[in-house]
Structure formats: structure tokens, C-alpha cells
Amino acid sequence: MFLSDYHSHSLVSFDGEFPMAHMAQAAVDAGLNQLCITDHCDFLDQDGAPVRTYDWDRALSQFDEAAPLHSREGFSLRLGLELGMPHLDPAAAERICAQPRLDFVLGSVHNHSPEQGGIDFYYADYSTAAACRKALDDYFASLALLAESGFYDVLAHIIYPLRYMKPADGPVTLEGYEDRLETLLRAAIARSKGMEVNTWCGRTLADWLPLLKRYRALGGEIVTVGSDAHAPGNVGKGVSQAFDLLREAGFRYVTTFRRRKPEFVPII
């Protein structure tokens, strides 16, 4: 059965340390048919300082080293990018995504908005449910701007900050955010864009089912699956279970990308 992992990081990412060749070998070993490397290009760094460049020379040399090693029947390596908050600078997003060999772009929000200081959600204070709600309000406002910007193929890990939110005074859920979620899914669908199921290395699975069902009910057809692996041992983690969720939500295809064009691969 076809399996693809469309979210992974190599040493080209600030938080990665493994060559693309190692990640690709791990994908082959895990029995995957496709791996897309989606290194970070965040328009805000972890402290909120602006960044508007991407080291394509480094990414392409890593890719050129890895792809021939692993080009074989039944497996292919794709070149992607995880673009953080491209709506902050459309001209820079346009310039960076003009790389002709780019296959796929994940659109992400990892940081607070510049108005809220811009720091990475990873570092925020989640000690109370109220603090979590405040962060989520800012997050979804940015995600709506991203969804409308169109500088992405698929919205990455829509429920991202929830990973870190474990306040003492109760669990934080997406209750109350249904309308905002629907608005941003509609914005993606209207632009022929998709959503990803991000397994967070196998840790986040069932949480995706309601969102998948909602996206499909609204007419969405483009779904990628990604592990968000930063190390070879996590490549493909949770991907097979995520494909099960797709089928459960009624999808008959998973989406892959070549040169920014979606391709639909049957999963039934």
C-alpha cells in the first residue's frame, strides 16, 4: 500500500541535524513510497526577529546528494519547504517560492504575531487556561491571514499550539474555535489548497478526525500526511494510522506534490 510522509526536516532546518540522505534512507527502511523534506523558512525567528531569506544553495546541494542515492522503483524524494508566516511579507514569499525545483510548500504559524511580540509558541506561558486561550486567539488570527494569503499548498499542523498546552486548571480544547476553523478551511478550499494530518512523530492522531471530516464536508479534497520528523528514527511515525483516519473520514486519495502541482494517489 502506498505511504507518503510530507513533513520532515534535515540539517538545513535550524532545529535539524541530519543530512537529507539519512532521512531518505530512513524513509526507504520504513517502507515509505515518498518522502518530502520540508525544511524551515520562518519569517520570524524564535525570538520574533524578522527573517526573509532561505539558503537554497544548501538545500539543493543536500537534495542533489540524497536524491540519486535513493531514486529507485517505488520510492521518490521530493523537495519541500515549511514556510512560516509568509503573509507577513508577500514579496519575500513570492521570491523564495520562485525556486523552480520546489515541489511542495507547507504553510505554518509557529510564532505569535509581531503585535504580540512574535516569539515562538513553544516558549510561551501556558500555566493557565486563560493564557492558553489568549495564545490561541492570536494563533488563529495569524492562521486566518496565512490561509487567505495563498502562499502555501497545504496548511501545516492546524492544531499546533495545543501540543504544548497542558495548564494546571484544565484541558484546553478547540471548543469555541469551530467558526474560526471553518472560516480558515473555507479560505484554503476556495484557493484549491489543502490541510495536513501532522502526526507529530506518532503522538497526534485521533485529534485530526473531526477536522478531516469538517474539511471534507466543506468540499476539501487535498490532504497530505506528515510525521514532522527531525530525526531518521521518527520518519514515517504514525503515517499508516493517519491514512486510516483519512479513510475513516471518507477520503479515497492522499495528495502528493510535484513542482507545486497536486497528484492524487488512491488509498483504498
CB nearer to Zn ion: pick between 68 and 141:
141
Q: What is the DSSP letter of 33?
A: S
Give the count of residues interacting with Zn ion (CB under 5 A): 3
CA dihedral of 23, 26, 31, 32, whole degrees rounded to 10: -10
CA distance 30 to 35: 11
User: Which range binds Zn ion by CB under 5 A, 23-31, 125-133, 225-233, 240-248?
Assistant: 225-233
Asked if 108 interacts with Zn ion (CB under 5 A), we say: yes
CB nearer to Zn ion: pick between 175 and 233:
233
Q: Are strands 154-155 and 104-108 parallel, antiparallel or unpaired?
A: parallel
User: Which range binds Zn ion by CB under 5 A, 20-28, 54-62, 78-86, 121-129?
Assistant: 78-86
Asked if 153 interacts with Zn ion (CB under 5 A), we say: no
Q: Cβ of 65: how many Cβ atoms within 10 Å?
A: 13
CB nearer to Zn ion: pick between 15 and 29:
15
CB nearer to Zn ion: pick between 4 and 108:
108
Among 147, 228, 242, 249, binds Zn ion (CB under 5 A): 228
CB nearer to Zn ion: pick between 46 and 264:
46
- Least distance in Å: CB of 217 to Zn ion? 26
3-state SS assignment for residue 218:
coil
Separation in Å, CA 152 to CA 18, 28, 80, 87, 119: 25, 27, 11, 10, 22
User: Which range binds Zn ion by CB under 5 A, 55-63, 76-84, 97-105, 117-125?
Assistant: 76-84
**170-191: b (≥16 Cβ within 10 Å) or e:** eebebeebeebbeebbebbbee
- Least distance in Å: CB of 228 to Zn ion? 5
Q: What is the DSSP letter of 153?
A: S
Asked if 39 interacts with Zn ion (CB under 5 A), we say: no
Binding site for Zn ion (CB under 5 A): 82, 108, 228
